[in-house]
Amino acid sequence: MKAQSTPGAGQASDGSLALVTGATSGIGLAVARDLGARGHRVFICARTETDVKQTVEDLRAEGLEVEGAAADVRNRAAVKGLVAAAVATFDRPVRILVNNAGRSGGGATADLTDELWEEVIDTNLNSVFLVTRETLTNGGLAAAGHGRIVNIASTAGKQGVLLGAPYSASKHAVVGLTKALGKELAPLGITVNAVCPGYVETPMAARVRAGYARVWDTSEQYVQQQFEAQIPLGRFSTAEEVAGLVGYLTTDVAASITAQALNVCGGLGRF
């Protein structure tokens, strides 16, 4: 049985096509599930083919209309193939794009390698540009007369993160790109917003904790306590809470929200 639309979603979905990058775990997976539950057809991607296939199977077992393909969104040719596959699979233009693919990365800036810096910027920023451009043109979004782009940024895109210069730089840039695109695409009926998670319990969060524990020569539990002490709510957000805001931004009642960077962080970021 097909999943029912989320109560209070603000619109009855017409089966619009939603493309979600980095959607096999964490926030991306929660977003794919949320959009599918709202009645959208969802096309997902990640770099590992086996992960994509398993995620598609799992979400379909929940009654959602989901397909997917493996793609490296840092690569222009791969992005072109990804968008073409999404459109061909569901025989309709992309109306919702969620740029979620990303990675952590940092350390003492004096010790950073060129390779790490470039990979973080490529993954977190350049991929957003590449996928957005391809979706607007060959994905049919610009010509649709209505659409939603949501970029997953971070509270690190509004404030610096200790030992996280590449990550902070990339997410600040995503926020800037979002605000510029929001103004540019408004006349086309397309809203563009950034969702800025704070600390969210995901596989990436586990890697970040482990990294700080190594640098500080301490336990991951201690790192967790230091992180939580910064959050007024006293806990990490969940991927589902982030996905809930993403889903809301795709609805008709969110039509006047554009060029914004909205936090989901338990009070961690206060601007």
**Which residues are identified as catalytic?**
167
Whether 15 contacts 36, CB under 8 Å: no
Which residue is associated with the tokens 């805001």? 245
How many CB atoms neighbour CB 182 within 10 A? 20
Distances 84 to 60, 88, 129 between C-alpha atoms, Å: 21, 6, 17
How many CB atoms neighbour CB 229 within 10 A? 8
Q: Which two tokens stand for residue 230?
A: 């910064």
Whether 236 contacts 200, CB under 8 Å: yes
**DSSP string across 49-75:** HHHHHHHHHHHHHTT--EEEEE--TTS
Whether 191 contacts 148, CB under 8 Å: yes
For residue 245, give the DSSP letter: H
Cα distance between residue 256 and residue 253, in whole Å: 8
Q: Which two tokens stand for residue 9?
A: 């979603």
How many CB atoms neighbour CB 134 within 10 A? 22
